[in-house]
A and B are shown apart, each in its own frame.
Chain A
Amino acid sequence: MKNFLRELSRDTPGMIGFVIVIIVLALSVFASVIAPADPLEIDVYNRLASPSWQHWLGTDQLGRDIFSRVLYGGRVALKVALISISVALLCGLLLGMIAGFGPSWLDRILVVCFDTMRSFPTVMFALAIMTLTGPSLNTVIAVIIITSIPVYARVVRTQTLAVRNLDFILAERAMGASTLRILRDHILPNISAPLLILASMDVPAVVGMEAGLSFLGLGVGPPTASWGSILNDGYSYLRNSPWPIIAGGIPLILVTLGFTFLGESMRDILDPKLRGKGALNQ
């Protein structure tokens, strides 16, 4: 970890990304402390106000404080991202390792399933699910999980296939190590670096997806604040005030940039190390 931070500090975009990520995380976690106002409090006399000392980013069409809404929206965005990515990562890990290490008939069945899942356009799939269950935050999370599992599983499968016939796995098998031990102690540590990178690069995609679904009215319902719903509300009143759109868009851009920079920097740091260790390229 110390090494990682030292390497990171040498890479300017990576460091910027890291700082942005930390700030966004802190602002979201401590939203209730930092927020100057209740994000749901309506003040119709102050509709669509421009930024002032009282309302740092102005107010929306119902007079709610946009800065507070952005902070609470960050909570929603990160909650969706963390829950859905970690669940998808775990499921993808399990399925991918089964496909990569198990018998070839099982591998073929799983690969067909992954490819079938990937062939649905995400938004169409989301629309279909929302039509069945009605929009809610949990549905958004479920849709993202279902559409991300195949992505992770395929990466895990490829990595597992690359590792499974290396000599050290043979050596473990010759000693009589169980399949579980081989997967847990020998394959998992050797495939986890690319997965961490993929997961970190996936955060902005998921945040964007949540915002997109909320913008389309398929995500969190009113009055809950989400960056997508702030954008959606602002879009309707764009002629009256540009502030809601600006306030909803900037955090999206920052999160996207932050996690992408961090992910790319992680890739650069972890990959050459892997090569130096001779783990996968022998």
Chain B
Amino acid sequence: MKEVLAVRDMQVRYPTSGGLAALMAGKRATSIDVVCGVSFAVAPGDTLAIVGESGSGKTTLAMGLSGLVPVSGGDVVLDGNAVAMNSKGFLQPDRRRISVMLQDPVGSLSPRMTVQRLLAEPFRIDPELADDPDAAALRLLDRVGLSREFAGRYPHQLSGGQARRVGLARALAQKPGLLIADEPTAGLDVSIQGEMLNLLAEVQRDMGLGIIMITHNLNIVRHAATDMAIMYLGRFIEQGLPQRIFERPRHPYTAALLAANPSVNPATAIDRIQLLGEVPSLFERPRGCEFHTRCPRAQDVCLERFPQRQGVANTQVWNCVNPVD
């Protein structure tokens, strides 16, 4: 099937405003690469899960795709058309095809607006979408399984799960082709997490959505994703089909990440891989493979250049010269 979104070598670079002192110290770079050279494609009905530590650039990637931070390089193809990018990121008509649910469910709803107004808002921004914004808002409320009595509530009167549903409804209003869900289950208890994932799956099926899901929760990846990518310091160091990666992770970082996932079964022998040290600063990106500072399998060549991509495309690929076997 044709992809909703295909991205090649996407870069997000933040300028660092160090001021005069930083200029005189002369050490720091004038910009930092938060996302560097990321490639992926999402087809309708696909769910790409992006996992990685805090600070690995997952959220920045999402913000770059939704036009909230400037994308500094790469090719983006949306619905088969190359997207013209200016210094501000995407152009407005393209942006509507990509909706985003931000991380903080309550905080991403305007606090002085009722749910009704919040849901009518996208139709007021874009009057072509619906003739009657208020009726459309109520339809959205039904769509995400909230009863009409929520229409009069304010965001602070909603629970995390309810606020998530309202956020999802808002994201669906513009009939996107791709939904970016940043931590859609964070802060929800397990039963509500399940409901949220089921709702996402239902909406995905009905609307033929492609979903990019950013998460820390590996169990959710296993349950919901059709593709996964592991991000480290702004790069995808391993990506492919979840069942393949869970079964046989090749990159040492992936292996460590998966080994850290707690198991429900206490009898399972846990074979943790301990990583030493901290995630390196983006200001001082290590030479070569960024992971060599913490990698138990690092070799001399790892210090020299970033490793070539290996593996089978669309199944499992990794960037490591000395993969786990």
Interface residues in chain A, defined as those with a beta carbon under 8 Å from any beta carbon in chain B: 166-168, 170-178, 181, 185-186, 189-190, 276-279, 282
Q: Closest residue to A278 on the B side, CB-wise?
A: B156
How far does the Cβ of A108 sit from chain B's closest Cβ, in whole Å? 13
CB pair B68–A173 under 8 Å, yes or no, is yes
Chain B residues with CB below 8 A from A185, complex form: 110, 113, 121
B63: chain A residues at CB < 8 Å are: 170
Q: Is the CB of B108 within 8 A of A170?
A: yes
Query: Which residue of the partner chain A has the closest CB to B174?
Result: A175
B56 part of interface (Cβ distance < 8 Å) = no
Question: Provided the pairs A174-B67, A174-B68 are in contact, do residues A277 and B156 lie with their beta carbons within 8 angstroms?
Answer: yes
Q: Please, how many residues of chain B have a CB less than 8 angstroms from a CB on the other chain?
A: 30
Known A-B contacts A175-B174, A176-B96, A190-B112; the reply to A170 vs B154 at CB < 8 A is no
State the CA gap A150–B96 with chains docked (Å).
39
A166, A175, A189, A277: which contacts B121 (Cβ < 8 A)? A175
A172 and B110 within 8 A (CB)? yes
List, in ascending order, chain A residues with CB within 8 A of B126's CB: 176
- Min C-beta distance of B263 to chain A, whole Å: 34
Residue in chain B with minimal CB distance to A276: B156
In the assembly, what is the distance between CA of A71 and CA of B110, in Å? Answer: 45
* Chain B positions within 8 Å of A190 at CB level: 110-112
Given A167-B103, A168-B107, check contact A279 B112 (CB 8 Å): yes
Residues of B within 8 A of A176 (CB): 92, 95-96, 125-126, 174
Known: A167-B104, A175-B174, A189-B112. 16 other contacts (CB 8 A): A167-B102, A167-B103, A167-B108, A168-B110, A170-B63, A171-B100, A173-B67, A175-B99, A175-B170, A175-B173, A189-B110, A277-B112, A278-B106, A278-B111, A278-B156, A279-B111
| Contact, CB under 8 Å: A171 / B125 | no
Q: Which residue of B lies closest to A274 (CB)?
A: B111
Contacts of A174 in B (CB 8 A): 66-68, 95, 99-100, 102
User: B170 and A171: CB pair below 8 A?
Assistant: yes
Q: Measured between C-beta atoms, what is the minimum distance from B21 to chain A in Å?
A: 18
Residue in B102, B110, B126, B154 whose Cβ sees the most chain A Cβ within 10 Å:
B110
**CA of A134 to CA of B63 in the docked complex: distance in angstroms?**
58
Q: In the complex, what distance in Å separates the CA atom of A157 from the CA atom of B125?
A: 25
Q: What residues of chain B lie closer than 8 Å to A173, measured between beta carbons? A: 67-68
How far is B123's CA from A181's CA once the two chains are assembled, in angstroms? 13
A168 to B104, CA, bound (A): 9
